[in-house]
Structure 1
Amino acid sequence: MSIETRLADLGITLPRPAAPVASYVPAVESGGLLFISGQIPFDDGVVMQGRLGEDRDTAFGQKAARMCGLMLLAQMQAALGSLDRVERIVKLGAFIASADDFTQQPQVANGASDLMVDVFGDAGRHARSAVGVPVLPLGAAVEIDAIIAIRPA
């Protein structure tokens, strides 16, 4: 089954890949890997903002992480032409804007991690970091970057 078919079965429509907001490119392919720049969460075109444990809860953070995951998928598709070139999700790096006493960063990051497993099955299982930070670009609640193993074109 193609990944595009899997997305349709899951009822997932990918967003339009976000353009960079500074001096970088969304993705770089090198040595059989695709490195994707940090993606922030958009819901109906609006950045999902806030700080977990301050003005946002874990459920909001999980949704934001999932939206970051959808944007990662959109960037993969734009860079590779097809998600069928994805061999494995190698690593996700999750940055969660959070209050000093918030410790649920791993549960927040599961929003993106679970999406990758839903879409790619065992090839979606990955290594991961989940780090609390005081602030993210554009006031985003979550930002996630990725390293992807890819098949030759």
Structure 2
Amino acid sequence: MKNIRSFMLPLAAVGWLLLPGMSQAANLEPVDSAGVQVQQQQQNGINYLSGGIGLDESKAIQQTPGYNLHMTFAVGAQDQYTADVDVTIQKAPGQTVLTLTQTGPLVYVQLPPGKYTVLATRNGETRRDVTDVGSGTARNLVFHWNDAG
């Protein structure tokens, strides 16, 4: 029974975290740009946005078009956003295209089409996901850690 519960919590977290993305009306509300500190950055020719601290900043990132990989980082039973995650995106084993430290809670990346491995590490605990990024709909990855500390 313990295995089922530990599996269900992350599924519940994924559903809860994706809910804002499904509510288009909420995402289209005006953003108070005075509270937004997000600027496009670039590493190895890859454009990305990182941030989402505060409602206006998270809405600003969610409303920015052109990013085909969307990552969300959360912790604990309350699925609180966390901004202390190290991210590595690899095109192939050993071929790193992006490395970010102490980032989040939202990271949006503009990648060339292809298959990528994403490693998200928080407090020494790594989550891994593999995704195919194309020119169509953006891929959404949610990384969750059980501890809130």
TM-score under structure 1 length normalisation: 0.29
The structure where strand makes up a greater share of residues is: 2
The structure where helix makes up a greater share of residues is: 1
